[in-house]
Chains A and B, each alone.
Chain A
Amino acid sequence: MGPSVRTFPLSLRLLVQGCELRASRFILGLVIAAAAGCQSMAMTSFEWDLKFLEAISRRGYSDLADKFGQQMVAAAKDPIEKGRIALGRAAALLDSAESASGEEQLALVKKAEDALKQAVAASPETAKTVEYAEQAAILKQRQAAILAAGIAKLPDNEKEKVFKEADALFTQAENDFGQLILLRNARIDEIQHILATNNKNPRETQALEQELDDAYFQVTVVHFRIAMALYAHLELYDTRPADAKRKELLKALLDKLEQVSFEGEGTSLESYSYYYLGLVSKKEGDLAKAEESFRRVLATPRELRVPDLIRRAHFDLVDTLTKAGKFEAALNANETLIAYISQLRIGGDDETKARLYKATIYFSAAFKLKTQAGQGPLPEAARKYYDAGMEICRTFINTNPKWAGTAQDIINEWAKKIFPDSDDPTVLMAEGRVLYQDKRYLEAAAAFRKVLANPKGRESARAEAGYYLAMCYYHTERYYDAYVTGDWLGCRFDPRKYDYVEKSQFIAILSLKKQLDKTGDEFDKALYIKTRKQLGEEEFLIIEARDLAEQGQLDKALDVYRRITPKAASVYDSALYEIAQCTDMIADRELKAKHFARGVEKRAEAVKLYDAFLKWSQENPPAADRVRLRQNLECRAVYKLGRLMLDNTAESFYRAEIKRSGSDVRNLSDVIKTAAAAMLQPVHEKVPASAQEALELLDTFAVARVRKFIEMSAGIRTKYPQATDIHPYVLHLRTMALAKLDEPEAAEKELLELKEFKDSSGIADITCRVAMALDTQARKQAEDGNAAEAGKSYAKAVEHFQQVLTLDPNLAFLPEKQRFDMIYYVIMLFSQHGQAVPVDPKLALAKSFLDEFGNEAKREDELDSVRLVQAGYLIVLNKLADAMDIYEKLVKKYDAEYAKMRENDPRAPRPPRHWQAKQGLALARKVSRKYADALKDFMEIRQNVPAGGDTWWDASVDASECMVEMKQYEMLLRMLKTTFLLRPEMGGTDRRNRFVMVLGRIASDAKLPPEQADLARQARELIDQINEYVEKK
């Protein structure tokens, strides 16, 4: 149904009228797409505009949504419509407020409040609606939460006032939700009354029953919302633990959560309520109840599990057990958590977090034993726990730079409690780091100084402490102190062993420079010059160059780097590497400024420089004491080369150049020559005859370049065993490269290796690439007729995609415009081959996809595919009314489409999708025991699709099953006899068995009237004939 002028959506009317909607091109694109979609979806313009408003608000364009909402209100003529739009606008604004903060959040909430008022002003009836009650309650809760969050930062004299305001708003929100329950209950009564009094037709009755179910569920949802409001309200009272109202709130919250857990049984609300019950109990010190609640969440049946909630419950259970002093149980639960995360094989941070949490458990145990022992010496068992905790933290500090800070925080929290005057360098370092981060430099210096001066400490820790000590003094303008520290480090520790030493020398020189700037003193000047010279003039150059590079003066830095000669053996290798790196940075700068030609040229130069560095390095092996550093540099160069070689910028650039050259052969030849050089390919002499040939050549360069990287980075871990920091990055690139080359098994191997580095970031992204490569391989294998191998590849692809969705359910690693395609792709893959994925998560994925992208009008076909998949899952879950609703809409839409198609071409065949929708609807009807409707549909399909195809056979089997249910034996036998006569294989084993079962039911029907007794005999005969045929075959 096309929209009339009256019903034409505002979103398009605004555009047509040239209104000043200052939207980006993207949004305008959306608007157009939305308008186009409106035509095919046959929605009213009003509904469509509301949906559009929600969609743009959800995408974060709150200002645009608001403007659009205001214009909708202004354009609407019907007061009820006005009211509903204002409500929709309020909801959209509250959605936006959810992700905003500070002043912006306050402003959005205020606007939402105005929108609600506007709704009531436009249509006083609105205030009586469920939607209004819901938005009003949410609004108050949000207002209260914002006020509550800001209290701590207020001046003391304002705190009480704002506290009271927040308190009152929370109470109002709780009451408003109560009103909402009354409204929803009123609707329940209404439906029950209709069901009890009216003689509706079965279809209407079923719809009402479904609505009743939904209404009950919605009431539980509102109860849960009240619980959440009470939870936030209780938090407001955290600063007033003795307040009587806090006790009241706590009781109300616990009662509410108990109620939700009872009423929401069998839904995810049950798990959520137990989870919050656990959190509240933990907070209130009722650790036994907290433990029980978290364990209940973990016992959720698989099909109802929400992975994120399960993970959080695991963590909270471990924490609760630790707080309860059940350390052994906590350790066991922690192991279970690690195993749970590990079994997902997703890598990432959670597992690391859990492993590190073990240290907290050990420290808690040590602290408890210490407290029990009183003032006496630390008991032996406590010492053991303490050592175990320290060992874990030390391992993280020494091997895992990303988590070193967290490990130090843990030490800082616990070790000082257990050994207040500890001189353990690890503890002191942790203390110093925290103080340093807080910019309490002089206090931090005291801790670092103890580590540096402690001859029992590890040399690497002492060197690091020395560096931070120098930095502390530098920041506090104690330049002499900074200088003597940096200078001492250079004398005392080997700069080839510890990176911090060189940095400290740099700080020493900088400090002297600052001191000189400050005083202009001759002594300071002489000392500055002397120190520079001591370091070696060329060695100093590298410091100067790095300083310039850090300040962004890259060209000047390059000039300085280039003055370093091989004579400066201690820095020459670094200089060569850094020249390449600096050039790389210049390229990035150029590309960022959209100077593409120059950027691509500079990148090509950087590639050559990295490559030249590697060659030089291999020809000039380092002295024994520089092996570690050199390995590090080489490994970094390989990584940088990989990044450049896998980057598509050059390829896109030359592609555009080729297209621009058109058929000018000389130009094409030049472009290809430059491209070959830039992509590290041998000089290309062959002149491409056409742009197409040039493009093909470019493709081969790109592939060859990736292959070259694979080759040069092979065995990176054995080749550079000391450069462990860089291994995960190179492995990441190798995985990506292999996936790009469609070598999924090799990529999978690299991925597994990569996952050994638990903290390597971007796992979701790379896993996704491997999964896609596996799927591509599966398709090829299927095309080649290798079904078994294809099945294995598909299964692997599905497994990898599941991991991706667990790691990053929103696929945030992808640019927004690619997310539609990727999620669609995954849904389709799951629907075809995802037996390993339970239906619930698959349905949830399809639902969230439709919620998110339901308005992508240009992608209507893909959206319909997902709708069909969604409806299929709903049937599996026995949610027949929902499934039928989807099918009916689709069938209706397709019928209209088909009618149009036939207007143009009366013999036009129906697209397969139409039959798919019809078949789904028929199936849903059949499962709902609406056999007559279902039979009609199946027969229509049977008569219209090509006989003998899968769809035809399925429709035939389903039709015959409907007939037998309806006891239309005669017609059934007639149909099956004909079928057998024409196609005795009866659609293959599975379908044949179903036909035989149908016939069996006729043959064994004892209630057949005497006049139909012969039908039983005929059925038996047909069974015999079918069996005979099978045996013969």
Chain B
Amino acid sequence: MTTTSSLGLGRTLSIALAAALIGSAAAHAADDIIRMKRGTTISGTVTEETYEAVSYTSAAVEGRVRQCEVESIEWGDRSPDFIAAERARSNGEYEDAISRYERAMKVRGARKFYVESTCTYNIGLCNLQMGKLDKAEEALRKLLADHPKAKFVPHAHIALGDIQLGQGQWDKAIESYAVVGNAIDSTLGRPTFCDDLYYKAKVKMAEALVGKKEYDKAIKDLDALIREVERSNPDIALAGQRLKASALVLSGKTDDGLKIFRDIIDKSVKEMDGSVSAREIRLSTIVAQCYNGIGGALMAAGKPKEALLEYLRVVTVLGSAVGDEYPRSLIGAVQCFNALGQKDRAKELFAELKRDYANFPGVKALNVK
């Protein structure tokens, strides 16, 4: 008999595993197991997933491990279609990825609780990437309805919030983000979902407030957040500061905002040296956001030349590795070149936008002749 304490402590592991292996009852989902209290008996077949889930459970100080902390488990039963779909998604081949995810969901024997939820979530993401917001929302809502305990539920709430944010539905967005950003496990006294998602949702909530033009509230919430995570989660703190800077600029305190932007850039660039690539990408993205923020502020202040230099730092140097910030900077640079009368450069960058980012918000609204 396997228990949630046995694997981690090791005493009864072999006996328990052996006993469980002979058993024939249906397996518990890992998601279920990790919610069980310490010492709960797990009946049924012990799978690799069970083993992983139990070992995580045992390793936790409180005897319970939050769902997000088992995200990296190699589940071991992914079908070829699922693997191909993942690859297609990472290559940006979203249509192909969606059809493969759909096929993967139909594979007999696949764990419904895991594969179906994951595929549904990813289909939502693919649609989101393609700008098919209705379909994206549909998939995300399906996931929330069919698999309320699945791993990607908090992610889905945030993604839903992003769709609403993009459509200017500020209150709805805040509501969606709040599911994650306000969720505290009363037993543990910690966020229900993992810290990253919790704080990310907090930042997003503040972003929606900025969208609502409730700058003071947004700045207040962000100050609180920054204080909370300054040491434990510097990336979130940086994101918070960046948003605060934007809020300050938008609220008319441009100099204060620009100063924060510049501070973030200095700090991030210093941290880049020798950092691993994943961190550098994160930091570069934040830096790009700041440059774009400064560019926007300067453009709004009627300084297209100064703004251009900021946008060019993203366009010329950081490149497409910074995700959405890149097309954003291209748009900014096009506007600056237009304003400066350098039509050729404006056309050149606009052509790139039309070619590679035709559906990016703001591209269609550009007027370059």
Contacts and interface: CB of A to CB of B under 8 A. Distances in A.
Contact of B317 (A453, A455, A478): A453
B280 interface: yes
Contact of A455 (B280, B305, B306, B345): B280
Nearest to A453: B319
Given A453-B321, A455-B277, A480-B308, 10 more contacts: A449-B317, A450-B319, A453-B317, A455-B278, A456-B277, A480-B312, A485-B316, A488-B313, A492-B273, A523-B306
B339 interface: no
Contacts of B305: 521, 523
A456 B279 CA distance: 11
A453 B277 CA distance: 11
Contacts of B29: none
Contact of B273 (A469, A481, A493): A493
A523 B308 CA distance: 12
Contacts of A492: 269, 272-273
Contacts of A484: 309, 312-313, 316-317
Given A480-B309, A492-B273, A493-B273, A455 B281 contact: yes
Nearest to A519: B305
Interface string A461-490: 000001001000100001011011100100
B277 to A, nearest CB: 4
B352 to A, nearest CB: 10
B284 A455 contact: yes
A481 B316 contact: yes
Interface in A422-449: 449
Interface string A490-514: 0111100000000000000000000
B281 A452 contact: no
A454 interface: yes
B68 interface: no
A265 B141 CA distance: 89
A483 B310 CA distance: 11
Contacts of A450: 319
Contacts of B313: 484, 488
A494 B272 CA distance: 11
23 contacts: A449-B317, A449-B319, A450-B319, A452-B317, A452-B319, A453-B317, A453-B318, A453-B321, A454-B321, A455-B278, A455-B280, A455-B284, A469-B316, A480-B309, A480-B312, A481-B316, A483-B309, A484-B317, A485-B316, A485-B317, A488-B317, A492-B273, A521-B305
Interface of A: 449-450, 452-456, 459, 466, 469, 473, 478, 480-481, 483-485, 488, 491-494, 521, 523, 527
A1021 to B, nearest CB: 99
Contacts of A466: 317
- A-B CB proximity, top 10 nearest: A453-B319, A455-B277, A455-B280, A488-B317, A456-B277, A484-B313, A481-B316, A484-B312, A453-B321, A491-B269
B320 interface: yes
Nearest to A491: B269
Contacts of A481: 312, 316
A455 B279 CA distance: 9
Contacts of A527: 309
Contacts of B284: 455
A485 B345 CA distance: 17
Contact of B321 (A455, A478, A480, A488): A455
A469 B315 CA distance: 13
Interface string B245-280: 000000000000000000000000100111001101
A interface SS class: helix
A481 B316 CA distance: 6
B320 to A, nearest CB: 7
Contacts of B274: 459
Q: Which of B284, B312, B318 has the most CB of A within 10 A?
A: B312
A263 to B, nearest CB: 65
Contacts of A523: 305-306
Specify which of B273, B274, B278 lies most central, judged by the most chain A CB atoms within 10 Å of its CB: B273
B320 A494 contact: no
Nearest to B266: A491
A192 to B, nearest CB: 82
Interface of B: 269, 272-274, 277-278, 280-281, 284, 305-306, 308-309, 312-313, 316-321, 345
A485 B305 CA distance: 16
A521 B305 CA distance: 11
A450 B281 CA distance: 14
Nearest to B315: A481
A80 to B, nearest CB: 75
Nearest to B345: A478
A655 to B, nearest CB: 57
Contacts of B308: 480
A173 to B, nearest CB: 55
A358 B362 CA distance: 51
Nearest to B305: A523
Which of A455, A488, A493 gathers most chain B CB within 10 Å? Answer: A455
A484 B314 CA distance: 9
A27 B294 CA distance: 75
B313 to A, nearest CB: 5
A73 to B, nearest CB: 66
Contacts of A521: 305
A521 B340 CA distance: 13
Which of B277, B308, B313, B345 gathers most chain A CB within 10 Å? Answer: B313
Contacts of B278: 455
A452 B316 CA distance: 10
A456 B276 CA distance: 8
Nearest to A454: B321
A454 B321 CA distance: 7
A453 B287 CA distance: 13
Nearest to A493: B273
A491 B277 CA distance: 17
A478 B272 CA distance: 27
Nearest to B321: A453
Given A455-B281, A484-B309, A449 B316 contact: yes
A452 B317 CA distance: 7
B58 to A, nearest CB: 37
Nearest to B272: A492
A588 B278 CA distance: 52
Contacts of A485: 316-317
A494 B270 CA distance: 10
Contacts of A452: 317, 319
A450 B309 CA distance: 20
A456, A491, A494, A523: most-surrounded residue (chain B CB, <10 A): A491
Nearest to B320: A453
Contacts of B317: 449, 452-453, 466, 484-485, 488
Contacts of B345: 478
A882 B43 CA distance: 107
Nearest to B277: A455
Contacts of B280: 455
Nearest to A486: B317
Nearest to B281: A455
Contacts of B273: 492-494
A456 to B, nearest CB: 5
A473 B317 CA distance: 12
Nearest to B322: A453
A808 B309 CA distance: 56
B5 to A, nearest CB: 42
A480 B312 CA distance: 8
A484 B310 CA distance: 8
A996 B272 CA distance: 93
A484 B345 CA distance: 16
Contacts of A459: 274
Contacts of A493: 273
A647 B281 CA distance: 54
B356 to A, nearest CB: 13
Contacts of B312: 480-481, 484
A473 B320 CA distance: 18
A140 B278 CA distance: 69
A523 B340 CA distance: 13
